[in-house]
Amino acid sequence: MCRATSRTTDRRETCEGTDSADGYGGIVDQRSDQLTDGQRAVFDGREATVSVTRERRRLGLTIERDGRLVVRTPLGAGFDAVDRFVRENRRWIDAKLELWRRHRPLNSAPRLAEGELFRYLGREYRLALTEASAPPAPVRLVAGQFLLDARVAEDPVLARAHLRRWYREAGADWSRGRLQPWAGRMEVAEPRLVVRDVGKRWGTYRAAPEPGGSPGVMALHWGLFQLPPRLIDYVIAHELAHIRVSGHGPDYWRLLRRAIPECESLKAELDEMGRHVWLGDLGR
C-alpha cells in the first residue's frame, strides 16, 4: 500500500469535524426553528447543508470533496445554535477550505473532438479523428498526433476504453525499459509489472506470497503515463523501495533518498501535476 504516491484526490479533502469543531459543548437549542435533514441554509454568512443524525449528540462540520460545507447536527438542533457554532469555528472552516482549494483535483475532461489535447510522457498531442486504419488500431500516436478512429469516437464508452487501453499498453512498454535499471540501482529483484487502474493511487507494490518465491507485483496507474518521465521514474522507485521497507517511516525515505536525492521535490511535483491528469472523464 502506498500513501506517499497517492493522488491528491486521496487526501482527506473531507474534513470531519475535529475536536475543535466537534467539541462545542453547549449542546443544542430545542427551538421552533428546528433544522431538517438536507436543508440548505446560511450560517454566519456561509451556505451550508444540514445533515441531521438521530444518534448524534454534538454539532460537527465537514468540508465535502466538492468543497461544500456540511453541518452535522443531532435531532432537534436550532438555527441559532448552529449559526453560533459555525461562527465559532470560522477559522477552522477557512483553513480547511484553503486546503481544499489547494489540493482539489482539477482533472481534465477532454472532448473527443479534433484538436483536443492529450498528454503522453509529459508531452501534449492534439487529437485527430481518422478513417479506419489498416490494420485496425483505434488509437495511435503518429507524427505528433493522437489519432482516434472517427467511428470509435462516436461512442464515448468505447472510445474511452480504447484510449485507456492505449495508455495501459504504451505505459507498460515504456516502464519495462525502466524497471530493470531502477531495480539494479536499488538492489532489489525486479517485480512483475502491470499497468491498470489503481484507484486513487499512482502505484502499488504487492510482495510475493512467500519469501524467495515468485517476484512481487508492481501496479502503475494508466493515467500516470501522461506525466513527464521523471515523475513516472519517481513512482517506480517509490514502489521498488517498498520491496525493502513497507510503510513510509524514516527508514523508507532514507532508502528512497539514496536512490533519488530529489524525491521530496518530485513528490510535490507529482501531487501538483497529478491533479490535472486525465482519468477517463470525457467532456461534451
Site of interaction with Zn ion (CB under 5 A)? 2, 4
Cis peptide before 135 (omega within 30 of 0): yes
* Residues forming a β-bridge with 42: 47
CB of 108 or CB of 246, closer to Zn ion = 246
Burial (0-12, 13-18, 19+ Cβ within 10 Å), 42: exposed
Q: What residue type is 104 in one-letter code?
A: R
CB of 2 or CB of 260, closer to Zn ion = 2
Contact 238, 48 (CB under 8 A): no
Nearest to 60 by CA among 72, 44, 43: 72
Could you give the CA distance from residue 138 to residue 125 in angstroms, rounded to a whole number?
A: 16
Q: Give me the least distance between CB of 239 and Zn ion, in Å please.
A: 7
Q: Give me the least distance between CB of 238 and Zn ion, in Å please.
A: 5
The vertex-76 CA angle with 74 and 79, nearest 5°, equals: 95
CB of 77 or CB of 218, closer to Zn ion = 218
Q: What is the H or E stretch that residue 200 is in?
A: none
The cell for 218 is 508492481
Contact 71, 59 (CB under 8 A): yes
Could you give the CA distance from residue 237 to residue 230 in angstroms, rounded to a whole number?
A: 10
Q: Give me the least distance between CB of 204 and Zn ion, in Å please.
A: 8
CB of 79 or CB of 234, closer to Zn ion = 234
Nearest residue to Zn ion on Cβ basis: 2
Could you give the CA distance from residue 277 to residue 135 in angstroms, rounded to a whole number?
A: 30
CB of 52 or CB of 243, closer to Zn ion = 243
Q: Give me the least distance between CB of 206 and Zn ion, in Å please.
A: 12
Q: Give me the least distance between CB of 167 and Zn ion, in Å please.
A: 22
Q: Give me the least distance between CB of 260 and Zn ion, in Å please.
A: 13
CB of 2 or CB of 255, closer to Zn ion = 2
CB of 4 or CB of 148, closer to Zn ion = 4
Could you give the CA distance from residue 16 to residue 138 in angstroms, rounded to a whole number?
A: 45
CB of 4 or CB of 163, closer to Zn ion = 4
Q: Give me the least distance between CB of 38 and Zn ion, in Å please.
A: 39
185: which residues sit within 8 A by CB, 6+ positions away?
Answer: 259
Could you give the CA distance from residue 86 to residue 89 in angstroms, rounded to a whole number?
A: 5
Q: Give me the least distance between CB of 203 and Zn ion, in Å please.
A: 8
